Amino acid sequence: MRMSLPLEPVGTAGDDSAICRRMCILRVVGILESMATSDTLEQSPIAVPLSHPVPSSKAGREPFLDLARLVAAIGIIWIHTPRSKELSPYTALGRFAVPFFVVSAIYLLVGSVRRNPERSFRDYASNRFMRLYVPFLIWTGIYYLLQAAKYRFISGRSVLPLDFYMLWVGTAIQLGFLPFLLIVSLLCFPLARWIVNHPTSGKGVAILAAVVGVAVALVPLLFDLGPAEMTNRWQAMVFVSFAWATLPALCWGLSLAAMPESFLHWMRTRWAGGLNLLITAAMLALVCIKGRISWAENLAGVGWFCAGLVCWGSSQRLLRLCALGAVAFGIYLCHHMFIQIAQIAASRVGLSPTAWLDVVIFLLAAAASVAFSIWVSRYKSMRWLFP
């Protein structure tokens, strides 16, 4: 059965962008419906997890925001790949990704509350726990077993003992983001409800959140992490450091979500999208040249998110690529094992870290992560692996 989408009223300055966006959503709905109604998911050109709702005005999905999510997941792969002296400084090109995911989560949280203002905190917390923390625990176990096999059969080192800190940072470098996102979502849910229930205060909330984000971005963390330790205390400090570094993106995500609709209409124009792409590129260039700068990384993530709100086209090929954004979190979770496998294989055959090897491993890990995520999404029994 074909879905019907209510059209927004026309007569505003953002009409062209709104019409283009509606066309994009309708095209994506058509593509995904044809996939969902085929005899088997294996016959569809792109298998998207059914746990992710098809784009619709009710679900609040933005097709090009899904594409931005896909690119951000690939950016995370790039951050974790290079080991050569030539390319290591350019891992900064992926530093927009984590702030982007934070902004996206907060912005979509407020949108979710707007669509379902009667939803209870208990229901929301239960849903987020199942979608974020349960996959986190599963992948923590998967990576622990992979590391145990690596230490036992390859490096000859003793297996890392299980410890309490693994319950919030996991056993792989990227896993700690899921508990962080769970905590942030639960803390921001009451604030999102307040924003929705007080629409006349939206502009003031937006300005206040933006100012707080700027202030936090300019204030460095007050303690030094020191050398790495596999202790609960040190891992807790890492978690706090990560939270502080991404707090500006959280504040700016709230600011965007509280903005008046007229401002969001302007943000969806291609002029605004081009400006946000320039901001993202400029901030990443700055980080590549100067090293890690918290405010620049956060601003790059916000710029990339805002660029994802724009309708950049409506071709079938482009919208199929957008649909791949549904498996972006799967790519985020599984990519590290493919990087590790490729790097171990390279070292076993005597290849030392070089720029060309980094590029090859990155491409292999990206392709394997995308393929694995799509493959997992085809089977209902395996969808619990990804949020």
Q: Is the pLDDT of residue 84 over 50?
A: yes
State how far the Cα of 103 lies from the Cα of 146, in Å rounded to an integer: 32
Query: Average model confidence (pLDDT) for the chain?
Result: 82
pLDDT > 70 in the chain, percent: 81
pLDDT band at 243 (very low <50, low <70, confident <90, very high): confident
The C-alpha atoms of residue 308 and residue 242 are separated, in whole angstroms, by 24
Contacts of residue 386, defined as CB under 8 A and 6 or more positions apart, other chains included, come to: 49, 51, 135, 327, 329, 330, 333, 373, 376, 377
**Domain parsing of the chain, residue ranges:** 15-41+62-324
The pLDDT assigned to 52 comes to 37
**pLDDT computed for residue 150 by the predictor:** 79
Residue of 240 and 372 predicted with greater confidence: 372
Cα Rg for the chain, rounded, in angstroms? 21
End-to-end CA distance of the chain: 27
Q: Alpha carbon of 374 to those of 53, 97, 99, 334: distances in Å?
A: 16, 21, 25, 12
Residue 93 has pLDDT above 90, yes or no: yes
Tens digits of per-residue pLDDT, 60-74? 467 899 999 999 999
Q: Which of 16-20, 26-30, 33-37, 343-347 bottoms out in mean pLDDT, i.e. has the lowest?
A: 33-37
Q: Is the pLDDT of residue 208 over 80?
A: yes
Mean pLDDT lowest among 147-151, 273-277, 359-363: 147-151
- For the whole model, what pTM was predicted? 0.81
Predicted pLDDT at 236: 81
Reference 5, options 35, 31, 30, 38; nearest CA is 30
Least reliable range by pLDDT among 33-37, 217-221, 292-296: 33-37
What is residue 222's predicted lDDT score, i.e. its pLDDT?
64
Q: What is the pLDDT of residue 2?
A: 37
Report, as an integer, the average pLDDT of 298-322.
91
Q: Which of 32-46, 140-154, 236-250, 325-339 has the highest mean pLDDT?
A: 325-339
Question: pLDDT per residue over 290-299, tens digit each?
Answer: 988 999 999 9
Burial class (CB in 10 A: 0-12, 13-18, 19+), 105: middle
Cα–Cα distances in Å, from 345 out to 78, 82, 242, 337, 340? Answer: 18, 15, 31, 12, 8
| Residue 208: both structure tokens together | 């206040």
**pLDDT at residue 202 in the model:** 82
Among 140-154, 249-263, 325-339, the range scoring the smallest mean pLDDT is: 140-154
Residue carrying the six token digits 């709100």:
309
pLDDT, tens only, 362-385: 999 999 999 999 999 888 888 778
Residue 11, token pair as written in the block: 């007569």
Examine the pLDDT at 18 and tell me if it is beyond 80. Answer: no
What single-letter DSSP state applies at residue 151?
I
Q: How far apart are CA 253 and CA 102, in angstroms?
A: 7
Whether residue 325 has pLDDT greater than 80: yes
